[in-house]
Structure 1
Amino acid sequence: MIPDTQADGTPGDEPLREPIDARLRSIDAGNYRRSVRSALEEFATVVCEDGDIQAVDDITKHDCRYYAQYLRDRANRDGDQFSARTAHKNYAFVRASFTWWQRDDRIATNPAQWRGATDELPEITSDPDRQFWTRQDRTAILRHVDQQVDAVLNEGDDPLPAFRDRAIVYVLALSGVRGAEVFRDPADDRREGLRWSDVDLDGGILRVFGKTRTYQSAPLPTDARSRLRRYKQVLDPEEGWPVFPSLHRPSLYRTVREGLADELPEQRIEELLDEGGPLAVMRKYDLIPPALSVRGARTVMKRLCEAADLDIDGEYLKPHGARRGLGHQLYTEGQAELAQEALRHQSVETTHQAYHDVQAEATARRVDEILSWE
């Protein structure tokens, strides 16, 4: 495997090190960058093994076919946890990198687009994980989080966790946002979690950093808006706070202690924490609590589903399943354009492709109705 770039940024001796590094520097998203790095390093190892490749423009379409064959053989190998779908993803990362090198005037054409190469990739026979919240699932989890809030108000417990969890579920269920658009992604510096400054409760709009890595307006329907407004009253946040902070107490206490270490004596910091708790200290001293991470949001959903006794084929209601569930319901009710707008797809064709299974089921029903002789 090609080693990482040296600390001073100087490429290594390998012929593809510099173009690979240039490609990786062009990618902002941390998770995507790591996936592309892994695919490109594997590709370089495979095609450079005979020593004929000295530069990226030495790579031919036949080299790309050889790599596709390598991926196919690896996917078919017993005991290797490498699926046909992963093979296609890795090849797509390499193909996209060639497109970038072409735009960067490093190569004249993209050899990875050759049909003779892509035909060598393994056949995908398994369906991807396409969980979506059904109408019944959505109703059940929304009812549960409403009941949680009622319970804490009646029992006099700390209301903040229940109000925050309810707001999370309502926003996921009704707005069509992706988890990475509202929760913090530790692997991506630009995804720090939705901030209150990006929420327009009067207009019913969330300003989110979308999949296209541009800011987009996501709808906030009335029920989600009302729960978010009530939650905001309980949280009493500063404008720059994340909408969904982590409530992990060690993390909150650590944020206060580290944030005030240069301003106050340690004893005074502890006194403040004892008097009002970490969030009160953060409000007073303009500190920002850590945002709930994508992984933390999944943990919240898992906990809520267990408490609500919701079992989705042995799983829990995943955050992205809420988005798919919203689109699925709108699409099945004949509102493809509305689904496109709610999910912020670039075109309605993207929406049709995302819900092709729904379209196929509807077509089958219409055929049955026409052919039925009863």
Structure 2
Amino acid sequence: MTGRDVGAREDRPLAATFDRYLQDKGKGRGGDGGNYRRNAARELERFADWVRGERGPDDWPGIAPETDREPTFADLDERVFREYARHLAGDRGLKSNTVHTYYAYVSAWCGWCVNEGYLSAHRAQRASATAPLPADDGRKPGDQQAWTPEQRHALTRHVDAVARDAVEEFTGLPEGTDPLDRGRARYRAIRATRDRALVFVVAYTAVRIGEVLRDPDDPRRRGVRWNEVDVDAGSMEVYRKKQQWDAASLPDPVIGPLRRYRKLLDPPSDRWPVFPTFDQRTLGTVVTDGLADRGRTPDEIADRRAEHARDLLLALDADLRPPSLTTDGGRRVLQRVTEASDVTVDHPKHDYLAPHGGRRGMGEVLVRAFGYTVAARYLDNSEEMVRDRYSHIEAGELGDVATEALDEVDF
């Protein structure tokens, strides 16, 4: 891109480039999905509001206050990014790592603009622009919780007890029980065994929650299905963070809960999601639209629904496949079962045992038991990243070595 080409593009409004940038950074067909795209879109809109003077202190006029036009690339220099860094770092309760994360979205867009010829230099990364950013402590927001062995055992014991009670209630119903009452008991048992299976998967497999549940922002992550789970071989196929399918291990504690859950659920096909949604509105739409597509009248659909205690049971009976539980739904399940248990959670960000905490907790176990190389393979991460994230373990071990050495020195 020549200097003249850049000059010809500097009169473009900033916001006019957002859609193209987000499409390039998005995932899936057409670049419409992905958490990065969603988060970047939010921060770019905030940046656009700020440069117009619509966000910030009352005395902030924007970067083109005396004109009646949209700010353009010609208005951008390192002083603008410096002011935006100062705005983010202001006293708004944001942690230092969050400030750096928000600024990084805008900085990445700036770098893309250089490559596309809208800017002649990456001004957001110049030292004068980044100077107001607070010192980065190196931590990632929300990535510090790790389930302790005591928390893991307490939560899994809780969901196991709840599931056993629900199954015993269902299987112990006497003959002649009203079909709707039997259906309600079966529904409660399915829900409890689904929750148990999900908790055990999160607690012991170290998979990312987006690898087993549905991410509405990424069409490729539609939730693991039964044909991708092989309990006999102890593995399941998941779509990894590195954008490819790969096998994840199912250790022994997970096998039993998955087997018992599948037996009770009895999915009509292997293409059913392992963790279907239990959202009543969603399931109502699934069965209503599905039966209508098969030629059933509204009255016939109403009769079929009345025959079943819950729409999930009708979906199972008619093989109307529901969508998987979403990642947010999975977090709500973990929040619900944590609150119902006697687990103590002391964490500044999460008041429940969050999914990433289960993964991080297993990482702790693996590093301590087998070292960084084995842990990296199990966690589907590079050894360098695992060493960085679990460096406190090595530091503690080195501290023990130092203590032992001091004890052996004869002063």
- Name the TM-score, length of structure 1 as normaliser: 0.83
Is 1:139–2:164 an aligned residue pair? no
- The answer to whether the 8 Å contact 1:64/1:112 transfers is yes
Aligned mates of 1:367, 1:231 — CA distance in 2: 49
**Map of 2:240 onto structure 1:** 210
Give the deviation of 1:81 after TM superposition: 4.1
- The answer to whether the 8 Å contact 1:43/1:67 transfers is no
- The answer to whether the 8 Å contact 2:85/2:129 transfers is no
Give the deviation of 1:116 after TM superposition: 4.5
Aligned mates of 1:286, 1:312 — CA distance in 2: 40
1:268-287 matches, within 5 Å, as: 268-276=300-308, 277-287=310-320
1:1-374 matches, within 5 Å, as: 14-26=12-24, 27-28=26-27, 29-43=33-47, 45-46=50-51, 49-50=63-64, 63-64=77-78, 66-77=80-91, 80-101=92-113, 110-124=122-136, 128-129=141-142, 130-156=144-170, 157-158=185-186, 159-237=189-267, 238-262=269-293, 263-276=295-308, 277-313=310-346, 315-345=351-381, 347-372=382-407
- Tell me which amino acid in the other structure corresponds to 1:278: D
- Tell me which amino acid in the other structure corresponds to 2:223: G
Aligned mates of 2:20, 2:281 — CA distance in 1: 40
- Tell me which amino acid in the other structure corresponds to 1:259: G
- Tell me which amino acid in the other structure corresponds to 1:356: S
Could you report, residue by residue, the CA deviation over 1:132-179 in whole angstroms, capped at 9, with x for unpaired residues? 111111111122222223222333343211211111011111111111
Change (3 A) 1:41 1:302: closer
- Name the TM-score, length of structure 2 as normaliser: 0.76
Aligned mates of 2:124, 2:199 — CA distance in 1: 42
- The answer to whether the 8 Å contact 1:185/1:294 transfers is yes
- The answer to whether the 8 Å contact 1:176/1:343 transfers is yes
- The answer to whether the 8 Å contact 1:330/1:338 transfers is yes
Aligned mates of 1:54, 1:151 — CA distance in 2: 63
Structure 1 gap ranges (5+): 1-12
Aligned mates of 1:283, 1:332 — CA distance in 2: 44
Change (3 A) 1:110 1:204: farther
Aligned mates of 1:32, 1:289 — CA distance in 2: 27
- The answer to whether the 8 Å contact 1:102/1:109 transfers is yes
Aligned mates of 2:328, 2:47 — CA distance in 1: 30
Change (3 A) 1:247 1:123: same
Structure 2 gap ranges (5+): 1-10, 28-32, 53-61, 171-184
Give the deviation of 1:114 after TM superposition: 3.5
Q: State the Cα RMSD in Å.
A: 3.0
Change (3 A) 1:340 1:65: farther
Aligned mates of 1:39, 1:153 — CA distance in 2: 47
- Tell me which amino acid in the other structure corresponds to 2:332: T
The percentage of aligned residue pairs carrying the same residue is 35
Change (3 A) 1:308 1:82: closer
What is the number of residues matched between the two proteins?
Answer: 356
SS in 2 for 1:244: coil
Give the deviation of 1:304 after TM superposition: 1.6
Change (3 A) 1:75 1:112: closer
Change (3 A) 1:91 1:311: same
